[in-house]
């Protein structure tokens, strides 16, 4: 057969072991955090009927769907996010689930997007959602999960930006934006932080708003402050706008819960220019950004009270998605974690052909003690080359059982980081290494 050029699709990536170790550490940390808050695991198919995903947000999202007709003539699509499938599950299994249903799910999603830094065509989402509760306490809890998860991963300089779609609707009403122009209002405001006020003003004018309306809108979304003082100002402006007042009341309640849940005010702020692109949000919306590097949001979500109703009886829902790819990119760029480059904690070297059984027996003792152990697989290779192999992989300990060690009931242990070599009693070696590895964590 002709030789095939090894390559992958743009926007997808291979993850070699060193990178996978970091990714698995992040996934494991997120899983522990989610379960700490009582969220339960859920898994859904990577491929579903296309109609499950189509029309759930806006036309721009539908363009990003990877969809095709399978061999059975069915129109199918790869999932582009996880909470649409959650809405289907909530409707399909409503008699089997206990509501409010708190679930987490982590897995790959696919979008036919334009690849760039921090944006891929295949990437992982790590979601926590609550279905069946209209309380702002549910929104506060998913935000507390985000804060706790990022702190558990070593993040310090990050901000959770908060807003509410009802407040945005109220701002549009106060500014005099016609209802049919609301979608354009959202699209334009969402670009404020990136493009600046003048660019957004131009976009609003292109959307058909008058200069006076655009000016009022920009003045309101750029109100100074980032907490209760902004909400107090909005209460005055929304005196005759019920939807706006409802949004303000929700955010006041939400901020009170965040304080009680131990989320410090230094890590969140009300940002009236933050919109979130998906069209199905109905109340609070939120995203998390880091100060450095400038990589976009590393989490995002909000309340989507009408999604489950598209599949069955309506239920309120809220949730947030943490982007694994961007979190890993930030950790790597800022060197937030110092993880080993390999899974193995010990390498048992092969002294010669006559001592293979002794080496394998030692490896089994170490594994049974909970030490991740590799055995060198080639007989007759000089010990120096085996040490270099361990050094290249970053394995911290190399153990040797030769004729002298076997006769004395000992094991020679070399610590690769320091080069120190010592002899330990065979009966004690597993316990000693486990103790030392525990101190190195």
pLDDT in tens, the chain (441 residues): 899 999 999 999 999 999 999 999 999 999 999 999 999 999 999 999 999 999 887 777 788 999 999 999 999 999 999 999 999 999 999 999 999 999 999 999 999 988 877 678 999 999 999 999 999 999 999 999 999 999 999 999 999 999 999 999 998 898 888 777 777 777 788 788 778 888 888 888 887 778 888 888 888 888 877 788 899 999 999 999 999 999 999 999 999 999 899 999 999 999 998 888 667 899 999 999 998 777 889 999 999 999 999 999 999 999 999 999 999 989 998 889 888 889 999 999 999 999 999 999 999 999 999 999 999 999 999 999 999 999 999 999 999 999 999 999 999 999 999 999 999 999 999 999 999 998 876
Domain with residues 346-440, CATH architecture: 3-Layer(aba) Sandwich (3.40)
Q: What is the DSSP letter of 119?
A: B
Q: What is the DSSP letter of 76?
A: E
Separation between Cα atoms, residue 374 and residue 395, nearest integer Å: 9
Chain centroid, CA 346 distance in Å:
31
Residues 6+ apart with CB under 8 A from 26: 153, 324, 327, 328, 331
A 10 A CB-CB count for 168 gives 26
Long-range contacts, stretch 226-232, CB < 8 angstroms, 24+ apart: 226/269, 226/270, 226/271, 227/255, 227/265, 227/269, 227/270, 228/252, 228/255, 230/270, 230/272, 231/255, 231/270
3-state SS, residue 274: coil
Phi/psi of residue 331, each to 5°?
-60, -40
Q: What is the DSSP letter of 266?
A: G
One-character DSSP codes across 198-225: HHHHHHHHHTT--HHHHHHHHHHHT-S-
Q: CATH topology for 17-334?
A: BirA Bifunctional Protein; domain 2 (3.30.930)
Residue 255's Cβ-side half-sphere holds a number of Cα atoms within 13 Å equal to 23
Separation between Cα atoms, residue 111 and residue 435, nearest integer Å: 46
Q: What are the strands, taking DSSP E only, across 67-117?
A: 67-69, 75-78, 101-110
Give the start-to-end residue ranges of the domains of the chain: 17-334, 346-440
Per-residue CA distances from 396 to 98, 226, 347, 350, 367 (Å): 47, 48, 8, 17, 15
Separation between Cα atoms, residue 243 and residue 6, nearest integer Å: 56
Separation between Cα atoms, residue 316 and residue 308, nearest integer Å: 8
User: Can you give the pTM of this predicted structure?
Assistant: 0.90
Query: CA angle, 179 as apex, 173 and 182 as ends, to 5°?
Result: 85
Nearest to 349, CA basis, from 362, 340, 337: 362
CB distance 185 to 170 below 8 Å: no
Chain centroid, CA 48 distance in Å:
22
Separation between Cα atoms, residue 415 and residue 399, nearest integer Å: 9
Separation between Cα atoms, residue 138 and residue 287, nearest integer Å: 16
A 10 A CB-CB count for 46 gives 12
């Amino acid at each position: 057969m002709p030789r095939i050029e090894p390559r992958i699709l743009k926007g997808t990536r291979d993850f070699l072991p060193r990178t996978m170790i970091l990714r698995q550490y992040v996934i494991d940390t997120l899983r522990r955090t989610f379960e700490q808050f009582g969220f339960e695991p859920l898994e859904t198919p990577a491929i579903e009927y296309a109609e499950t995903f189509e029309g759930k947000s806006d036309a721009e999202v539908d363009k990003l769907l990877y969809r095709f007709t399978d061999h059975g003539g069915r129109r199918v699509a790869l999932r582009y996010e996880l909470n649409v499938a959650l809405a289907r599950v909530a409707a399909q299994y409503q008699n089997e689930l206990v509501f409010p249903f708190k679930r987490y799910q982590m897995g790959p999603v696919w979008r036919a997007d334009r690849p760039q830094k921090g944006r891929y065509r295949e990437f992982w989402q790590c979601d926590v959602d609550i279905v069946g509760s209209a309380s702002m306490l549910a929104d506060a809890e998913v935000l507390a999960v985000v804060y706790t998860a990022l702190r558990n991963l070593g993040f310090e300089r990050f901000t959770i930006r908060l807003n509410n779609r009802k407040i945005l609707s109220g701002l549009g009403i106060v500014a005099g934006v016609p209802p049919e122009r609301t979608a354009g209002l959202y699209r334009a405001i969402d670009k404020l932080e990136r493009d600046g006020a003048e660019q957004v003003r131009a976009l609003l004018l292109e959307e058909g708003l008058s200069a006076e309306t655009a000016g009022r809108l920009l003045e309101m979304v750029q109100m100074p402050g980032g907490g209760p003082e902004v909400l107090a100002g909005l209460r005055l402006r929304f005196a005759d706008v019920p939807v706006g007042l409802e949004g303000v009341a929700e955010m006041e309640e939400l901020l009170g819960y965040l304080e009680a849940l131990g989320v410090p005010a230094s890590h969140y702020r009300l940002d009236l220019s933050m919109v979130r692109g998906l069209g199905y949000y109905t109340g609070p919306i939120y995203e998390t950004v880091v100060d450095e590097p400038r990589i976009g949001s590393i989490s995002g979500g909000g309340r989507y009270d009408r999604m489950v109703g598209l599949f069955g009886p309506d239920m309120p829902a809220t949730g947030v998605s943490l982007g694994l790819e961007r979190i890993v990119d930030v950790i790597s760029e800022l060197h937030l974690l110092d993880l080993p480059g390999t899974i193995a904690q010990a390498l048992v070297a092969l002294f010669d052909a006559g001592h293979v059984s002794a080496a394998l027996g030692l490896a089994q003792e170490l594994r049974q003690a909970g030490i991740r152990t590799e055995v060198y697989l080639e007989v007759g290779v000089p010990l120096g080359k085996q040490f270099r192999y361990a050094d290249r992989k970053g394995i911290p300990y190399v153990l040797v059982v030769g004729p002298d060690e076997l006769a004395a009931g000992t094991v020679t242990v070399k610590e690769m980081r320091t080069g120190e070599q010592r002899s330990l009693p065979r009966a004690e070696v597993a316990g000693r290494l486990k103790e030392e590895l525990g101190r190195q964590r």
